[in-house]
Amino acid sequence: MADFIGYTEINAASDYIKARIQELPEIGIILGSGLGGLANSIENPVVISTKEVPAWPISTVPGHEGKLVFGNLDEKRVMALQGRVHYYEGHPISKIGLPIRVMQRLGIKILILTNAAGGLNPEFHAGDVMVMRDHIAFMQFGGENPLRGPNLDEFGPRFPDMSQVYDLELADLAVAAAKQAGITVREGVYVWLAGPSFESPAECRFLRAAGADSVGMSTVPEAIVAKHGGMRILGLSGITNKIDISGKNAATHEEVLEAGISLAPKMTKIIHGVLKAI
């Protein structure tokens, strides 16, 4: 596998998909751990297994099914990805951006990113939803960035701006939709770490002191690629576990998936609210 994806891989994947769907999607949705169920409410679905799509990175994580679902949600044409891939699975960082590049090739201008995350902010509880206002791409401090490698000039500039990654209007719509549905909604900064090990208590204290409200192992690489390509982005973190900086209560993947079950309907309501309003 080449270290960097280029036009060849992106075009092969997007041409394959274009030949399988009737109408091009307008909005992309990436479903995080335990949140794949949202795709079931898509009307007139066309489902493509990611295994069939040339160059598509394959997910190996339980709870991530590896399907693309095209269809209608609240009268919008959507493309949902069930089963994102994560850096910790061993994919080169550039490949994590492939689904976003394909969405861009299909003409998608709005991207909804969801994730399961640990709550670092002491006011957050498992079951809350956090609307992402900013992120810390912690991995790029160590040299890992999905845009590393030759710049794809057809998509965006070499040195893209990241001063406002998450669209203000979409974030406000999400907060309003959550409040209207009676869901406890938080707003804050998500920090992306590589995983797959969870954070040590000292790391959690460090991340909190650095200004992070939630922590997870996804979303930010996709957001960086999407922003580079000029998309409007909404990021929703489902808080699956409250981080205990004393280290007495360790997070587990089972806990994350279980909390995802109660978070899925909340995230679904918020996404419906946003889709209706745009």
3-state secondary structure of 114: strand
Out of 240, 263, 273, 275, point to the residue binding ligand HPA (CB under 6 A).
240
Q: What distance in Å separates the CA atoms of residue 143 and residue 136, rounded to the nearest whole number? A: 14
Q: Which stretch binds ligand HPA (CB under 6 A): 49-57, 85-93, 113-121, 149-157?
A: 113-121
Known catalytic residue: 7? no
- 2-23 b/e (C-beta count within 10 Å ≥ 16 → b): eebbeeebbbebbebbeeebee
Contact 174, 268 (CB under 8 A): no
Phi-psi region of 215 (alpha: psi -120 to 50; beta: other; left: phi over 0): beta
Q: Which stretch binds ligand HPA (CB under 6 A): 21-29, 116-124, 128-136, 176-184?
A: 116-124
Known catalytic residue: 135? no
Q: What distance in Å separates the CA atoms of residue 144 and residue 158, rounded to the nearest whole number? A: 15
Q: Which stretch binds ligand HPA (CB under 6 A): 35-43, 114-122, 140-148, 161-169?
A: 114-122
Q: Is 70 in the site for ligand HPA (CB under 6 A)?
A: no
3-state secondary structure of 195: coil
Residue nearest to ligand HPA (CB): 118
Known catalytic residue: 88? yes
Out of 80, 112, 117, 183, point to the residue binding ligand HPA (CB under 6 A).
117
Instruction: Give the footprint of ligand HPA on this chain (CB under 6 A).
Output: 116-118, 198-199, 215-217, 240-241, 243, 251, 256
Q: Would you name the residues annotated as active-site residues? A: 33, 64, 86, 88-89, 116, 217-218, 241, 253
